[in-house]
Structure 1
């Protein structure tokens, strides 16, 4: 049992470290991305305490940690997926990306509900931090991320109108972070790879 606990807790700590090390998101998913990464990073002290501690963890508790590991793996896939490809394509697929973030948020919140962190022998400040993070995931799960209405309207105008106003194009280039010739070349390559 101790080996299984050690491997699982080590894998959880590694997942958090890998997620924390992902590059900054520079597209329309930036807020959802940074909120999810920030919340996941706040789980790190729990795994460090479990790794350093020598307390026994029951079979049921290990199952909760395994569910959390699967949820973090799903989060890693979603986080990596939004950092690749065409920014324009992602802008048109914003609702699908938001749904993926919401699904992962639900998975992590449900997994945290299965982890008995209140019964674990961890310092009070770590327990309080995990309770706060769990509460943040609950709020995010019920609230969801709002649509950027200005972006949606600007994309609609850019698609439908022949002569788009420069202010609309400027807002789009700012929002999609397509400001330089190099940014536009990268975007062109990403579109061709679709």
Structure 2
């Protein structure tokens, strides 16, 4: 164990495994994942290259855990998602859309470099342990509001969910296909317009 690594772990309560995940997460957030190598992560963490394989099956395993940590870090800065039957539909949808945009913008550097790494994304999904993701919660929320009679009885909530999710995915996809310099990031001030468009299709008539 190098002095640098030893000092990094001693300064907090993190284990070496947690230290490696935190290091990879920080590098993802700052530099993205393109060209992120085991050697670069090990050097940043202050350990020998082979140390990573004492704690993770392979590089993909470490990246999946780092991406999960990144998602949790971004989500921790956001408030709780509203429950059905509370406030107004418009206010609640604003909260869901703002949550999705902030989450995807926060994950953008990592996700854009992992689109071509399905094995990492599959392992990332498996780490949720069956926990509902933002998209699933949004769809469940809309169905519940329809059941409560606060949306049109024939409201196409699946289509509304896809519309909102697509808008939040746009920043990641535009980076993938157009590159960082040409990418279109959906600004948070677009939330009201998106909610208004969705409500025209699913709101009470």
Q: Tell me the TM-score normalised to structure 2 length.
A: 0.26
Report the TM-score, using the length of structure 1 for normalisation. 0.27
- Greater fraction of residues in helix: 1
Higher relative contact order (Cα pairs below 8 Å, separated by 6+ residues): 1
